[in-house]
Structure 1
Amino acid sequence: MLPCRACLVSVLLLLLLLLLRRPLPVSCLHVATDAPLTATDHRQDGKEWRSFQQLLDARRGSRVAGLAELKRYLARFGYMHGAEHEPTDAFDAHMEAAVRRYQSTLSLPVTGQLDSTTLDRIMAPRCGVGENGHGVTPVSLTAAGTGSQAAAGAVSRFTFFKGEPRWTQPDPLVLTYAISPTATVDYLPAETVRAVFRRAFARWARVIPVGFVKTDDYYEANIRVGFYVGSHGDGIPFDGPLGVLGHAFSPRNGRLHLDAAERWAVDMDTETAHSAIDLESVATHEIGHVLGLGHSSSPKAVMYPSLSPRQKKAALTVDDIEGVQWLYGPNPGFSLSSLYQQDSSMATGRSNWLAGSASIVCAVLIILVTQL
């Protein structure tokens, strides 16, 4: 009997270790994300965003084929300043500074090197609006804690387009939107796409005093949505699957464009494509730009610039809400304090669950050990 008891003790110890290592449950505000793409397990479906995996561990002083292309990427999204007119494959001081800016802005470890975490983020599909300057309008970072609804000690990571443009008109503020009847994707029914955008607009309308009404008059709508391939007339061409997913213009332009070359999905439970992109997540993100928000440096925020294939991230976080309320004020029917309380209660529940589970295992261990 003793060996059996010893085996049981070992099993219970293993269970206790697994309990202690079990990840925290994710609150309804911070939607769980898929595991990020890695530099050694890059996506294989469709036309890839240019792979930079050969640049892994490159640092200042390196010269690696492909660095010139990465410099163009960093310049496109506003990180490369003072670089040579024709980029080379040399990892120089300008390149190191750009990598550091990129890492700091996207809340990555600031190493100045092309480590796997940084390359994973660079190779992930993303929004076409830049963080520190772009062909649409540059954004400016908001000082930490300036959000009027910020919790004590919280750091606000939201940003705005330069000049903080917003929609204004006599109260109540109601914006019309229309989805192009011609710029579509043939595998998604029109009503399915309309339903996705109804939900996406409703998320923002819940937290700010702005209404959104669908109209059939596409050219007269305040916000105009369409799916396009490649060059589509706005000077910012799309690049095919798993690169730039979409882009939107600041108020009061109203254009919201999605890359029709992506494999758009509305239900990942039934979607089989590994490269599928969640339409609702991208729609919610791009509406944030239409309202005047830039990108957030919080990886959990809807307004974070990148989104992995099959990742669902459509629920607004506190950071998203504080940012849009800075522009439009809070909706009288919505309270941010309830969200803070919800986060706190879920964290408390997790702690209590873990403590209770550990106590039960420990109690069983004590009983078994005393009988050996």
Structure 2
Amino acid sequence: MKFGFQFASAAITALLLVFSSFPPPVSGRFFPNITSLPRDLPLKPNFTTAWESFQNLSGCRAGEKLDGLSKLKKYFHHFGYIPDNAYNLTDLFDDSLESAVKTYQKNFNLNVTGQLDDRTLRQIVLPRCGNADIVNGSTTMNSGRPANSTGQIHSVGRYSFFPGTPRWPASRRDLTYAFLPNNQLSPEVRSVFGTAFDRWSEVATLTFTETDNYLTADIRVGFFSGDHGDGEAFDGALGTLAHAFSPPSGRLHLDGDENWVVAGSNGDIALPSAVDLESVAVHEIGHLLGLGHSSIESAIMYPTISSRTRKVELAQDDIDGVQQLYGSNPNFNGTSTPSIQERDTSGAHGEERWGFVTLLLAVGLILLCV
């Protein structure tokens, strides 16, 4: 009995040592191999997100005046909710801002109150694509979800296109892509984009091939910081993450100041500001192909994504939209993967390791009781 107790104690001690040797269940590695990024990333974030101050506007409504409303108007103007002829930088909650808030709430399936309630502000401050939701007065989100008499939401398509429905012509369905030479991207990062392009070619009549010739490539991918000459300046960590232009422009720009992460890599670093590279790449490629934003949260073309989340599988809404433009890949079996793929970038492997260690600890406790 004494020997059994000593054996169990030793086993538990060993298991605890093994347990402590595992890193926290986070997967994904920041890649400081873009020339605009620092070589040594901090272990703790030291940043203020672009729209963090908007949370101070909670409860504000039409007719009120509050510091910060002018910046919120700038946000709504950038994403198309306030047209040029109604845009002003006062701190008054005027009619144009109320209209913008209502349209935004409708696009994101929120309660349409016209007030800056907490849920609306939580949505507004999320990191997002820099492309506008409303272009030339026309929304690129099929906003709102019609409910039936029982209050259930109909499962309807919410994909959308750019105004005029631009697409790559039939003579250019075998597209090439290249990376900005100054970025000096690693093979690991290039592979992420290859996988992201494959997700679209698997369902539509398109192919994508990497080329070294940046100037002649159909699609040109680059990481930039701040104002980079296209009129759509980036704003630092967790604001606008990236933007892309409709066909046949082929330009895809990502914010080099983000803490980009490649999921599943070794040498993990966990920061609250982590942004999964593939998730953003798949979304922006949708724009390159002619898709606008979707009001379905599970869709890749939904405009926002939280930090430290991964969302890479095309939802049926995305598939329907791109096939409307280009037709279906003959080898596509007609079924989509589960629509909800958003998760923390901790990854499955970390969860599996901790689950295994938990099982070992349970066995040790049983031995101790014996």
Instruction: Return the TM-score normalized by structure 1.
Output: 0.72
2:101 matched to which residue of 1? Answer: 99
Query: Matched residue of 1:196: which SS?
Result: helix
How has the CA–CA distance of structure 1 residues 83 and 165 changed in structure 2, closer, same or farther, with 3 Å as cutoff? closer
- Percent identity over the alignment is 47
- Does the 8 Å contact 2:73/2:87 carry over to 1? no
Letter in 1 for 2:225: V
- CA distance in 2 between counterparts of 1:228 and 1:82 reads 27
Q: Give the CA deviation at 1:44.
A: 6.9
- CA distance in 2 between counterparts of 1:233 and 1:165 reads 23
Q: 1:313 aligns with which of 291, 311, 314?
A: 311
How has the CA–CA distance of structure 1 residues 113 and 160 changed in structure 2, closer, same or farther, with 3 Å as cutoff? same
How has the CA–CA distance of structure 1 residues 242 and 220 changed in structure 2, closer, same or farther, with 3 Å as cutoff? same
Q: 1:133 aligns with which of 129, 132, 135?
A: 135
- 2:258 is equivalent to residue 262 of structure 1: yes
1:228 matched to which residue of 2? Answer: 224
Query: Matched residue of 1:160: which SS?
Result: coil
After superposition, the C-alpha distances for 1:167-214 in whole angstroms (9 at most, x for unaligned) are: 01338x200001122135xxxx51011110011000000000101011
- 2:237 is equivalent to residue 241 of structure 1: yes
- CA distance in 2 between counterparts of 1:144 and 1:52 reads 24
How has the CA–CA distance of structure 1 residues 289 and 221 changed in structure 2, closer, same or farther, with 3 Å as cutoff? same
- CA distance in 2 between counterparts of 1:98 and 1:142 reads 16
- CA distance in 2 between counterparts of 1:140 and 1:159 reads 6
**RMSD over aligned Cα atoms:** 2.4
- Does the 8 Å contact 2:134/2:140 carry over to 1? yes
After superposition, the C-alpha distances for 1:76-100 in whole angstroms (9 at most, x for unaligned) are: 1011147655321111222111101
Letter in 1 for 2:319: I
Query: Matched residue of 2:209: which SS?
Result: strand
- CA distance in 1 between counterparts of 2:195 and 2:70 reads 41
1:328 matched to which residue of 2? Answer: 326
Letter in 1 for 2:213: D
Letter in 2 for 1:160: F
Letter in 1 for 2:168: W
1:251 matched to which residue of 2? Answer: 247
Letter in 1 for 2:180: S
How has the CA–CA distance of structure 1 residues 143 and 123 changed in structure 2, closer, same or farther, with 3 Å as cutoff? closer
- 2:202 is equivalent to residue 206 of structure 1: yes
Q: Give the CA deviation at 1:257.
A: 0.4
Q: Give the CA deviation at 1:321.
A: 0.7
- Does the 8 Å contact 1:82/1:94 carry over to 2? no
How has the CA–CA distance of structure 1 residues 143 and 298 changed in structure 2, closer, same or farther, with 3 Å as cutoff? closer
How has the CA–CA distance of structure 1 residues 57 and 303 changed in structure 2, closer, same or farther, with 3 Å as cutoff? same
- CA distance in 1 between counterparts of 2:230 and 2:205 reads 30
Q: 1:303 aligns with which of 296, 301, 304?
A: 301
How has the CA–CA distance of structure 1 residues 330 and 282 changed in structure 2, closer, same or farther, with 3 Å as cutoff? same
Query: Matched residue of 1:224: which SS?
Result: strand
Letter in 1 for 2:118: S
- Does the 8 Å contact 1:139/1:160 carry over to 2? no
- 2:46 is equivalent to residue 49 of structure 1: no
Query: Matched residue of 1:52: which SS?
Result: helix
Letter in 2 for 1:48: T
Q: Give the CA deviation at 1:219.
A: 0.7
Q: 1:339 aligns with which of 336, 340, 363?
A: 336
Query: Matched residue of 2:294: which SS?
Result: coil
Q: Give the CA deviation at 1:142.
A: 5.4
- CA distance in 1 between counterparts of 2:114 and 2:284 reads 30
Query: Matched residue of 1:168: which SS?
Result: coil
After superposition, the C-alpha distances for 1:279-336 in whole angstroms (9 at most, x for unaligned) are: 0000000000000001111111111111111011111001111111110011111133
2:269 matched to which residue of 1? Answer: 271
- CA distance in 2 between counterparts of 1:130 and 1:264 reads 22
- CA distance in 1 between counterparts of 2:285 and 2:191 reads 15
- CA distance in 2 between counterparts of 1:138 and 1:279 reads 29
Query: Matched residue of 2:223: which SS?
Result: strand
- Does the 8 Å contact 1:223/1:256 carry over to 2? yes
Spell out the pairing of 1:16-27 with structure 2 (5 A cutoff): none
2:71 matched to which residue of 1? Answer: 69
Q: Give the CA deviation at 1:47.
A: 3.8
How has the CA–CA distance of structure 1 residues 202 and 91 changed in structure 2, closer, same or farther, with 3 Å as cutoff? same
- Does the 8 Å contact 2:107/2:144 carry over to 1? no
1:175 matched to which residue of 2? Answer: 175
Q: Give the CA deviation at 1:235.
A: 1.7
- Does the 8 Å contact 2:61/2:114 carry over to 1? yes
- Does the 8 Å contact 1:130/1:138 carry over to 2? no
How has the CA–CA distance of structure 1 residues 311 and 143 changed in structure 2, closer, same or farther, with 3 Å as cutoff? closer
- CA distance in 2 between counterparts of 1:330 and 1:158 reads 16
Q: How many correspondences in the alignment?
A: 285
Letter in 1 for 2:54: F
Query: Matched residue of 2:215: which SS?
Result: helix
